[in-house]
Amino acid sequence: MKFIDEVHIVVSSGHGGPGAISFRREAMTPRGGPDGGDGGRGGDAIFKVDIGINSLMDYNPGKKYAAQAGVAGSSANSSGKGGESLVLKVPRGTLIKNEEGIILQDMALVEEFVVAKGGRGGKGNAFFKTSVNQAPEKAQPGEPGETLSLKLELKLLADVGIIGFPNAGKSTLISRISAAKPKIGDYPFTTLTPQLGVVRWGDEHSYIVADIPGLIEGASEGAGLGIQFLRHIERTEFFVHLIDISFADPPQVLHKYEQINHELQMYDEKNKDKDEFVPLSTRPQMVVFNKIDSVSAEDLEKIVKHFVQKTKLKPSVISAYTGLKIEDLKNEIGHRLFDKKSGSVE
């Protein structure tokens, strides 16, 4: 499935229906009064969050999406039917922007957003009857709807973002801790689309994890999958920094850790002047060593010891492939999220 995270479309609300000019024509009533009904209101254009979709691929760039127009009024004081509203379903986290790039709504904050109201229906001639004008021959046209050129931009909404180089095991990990079934393979950029997984924790809690496509050196400049996917970790509360240690080289493990953090710093530098931007490099990280099934206990101890000496950080260790220590990791993430919210963690 192709992942689409940005698209330009044109959206229109419905035109209001015109009011009717009509006079009663009944037997035995030679001078029937005005009975033109009002036109129906045009349909609204509405964006609605749909948790079942995670991309904007259903939208065709440049296409015009329009709500129905209101129906014209008719005789016998019959009002026209209102036009059906246009409901545009988008993933949670979609930003609705106008032509100038101004954010009209962040769909992470609301379930529905009326981006354009339908035009009001016009009044029929019955409305204009007065004591001095018993037979008005005028009615209102319906008000026009609104037409907007919009940019839809998706930023995934997750509690935890899994970051790391290609083939660090991110897809395998998310498949272990959630019901997500991402594509998994032993070659660069297996993950071409961000994956979301819901992790159940305890009886009452759950959290959302995003598997972000692998970063490489130069990603902040557009290398590899580049900044297209760096933006998708802007919303996460903290990162699980997954590192493949199967090559059993302590300095190389440290180098990989530092490279990814350098890319985050470079991305921050490019975006520091944006409103409400929260730097990525300053967010909490859980460092997790993966593929411990591929190294000896002695080598694992050397890798961990070297990393702690250089960074003062104690990594968690797992094997996403075998499932070793996975439950411990799920619990550690859960405690970090929910104990913090309850105020019991510093």
Q: What confidence tens digit (pLDDT) does each residue in 281-301 have?
A: 888 999 999 999 999 999 999
Given this model, what pLDDT does residue 215 score?
Answer: 54
- The helix/strand/coil state of 341 is helix
Q: Is the confidence at residue 308, as pLDDT, over 70?
A: yes
Percent of the chain beyond pLDDT 70?
Answer: 82
Q: Which CATH class is domain 1-154?
A: mainly beta
Per-residue pLDDT tens digits for 208-241 = 887 766 554 454 454 443 445 556 566 788 899 9
Q: Which CATH architecture has domain 160-342?
A: 3-Layer(aba) Sandwich (3.40)
Q: What is the pTM of this model?
A: 0.61
Average pLDDT, the chain: 84
113 or 232: whose pLDDT is higher?
113
Portions of the chain given CATH number 2.70.210.12: 1-154
Q: Is the confidence at residue 329, as pLDDT, over 90?
A: yes
Rounded to whole angstroms, the Cα distance separating 261 from 253 reads 13
346: pLDDT confidence band, cut at 50, 70 and 90? very low
207 DSSP β-pair partners: 199
Q: Is the confidence at residue 190, as pLDDT, over 50?
A: no
DSSP class of 160: E
Do 245 and 295 touch, CB atoms closer than 8 A?
A: yes
Rounded to whole angstroms, the Cα distance separating 151 from 325 reads 43
Arithmetic mean of pLDDT, 274-281 = 76
Portions of the chain given CATH number 3.40.50.300: 160-342
Rounded to whole angstroms, the Cα distance separating 35 from 38 reads 10
Given this model, what pLDDT does residue 214 score?
Answer: 52
Arithmetic mean of pLDDT, 319-342 = 88
Given this model, what pLDDT does residue 269 score?
Answer: 85
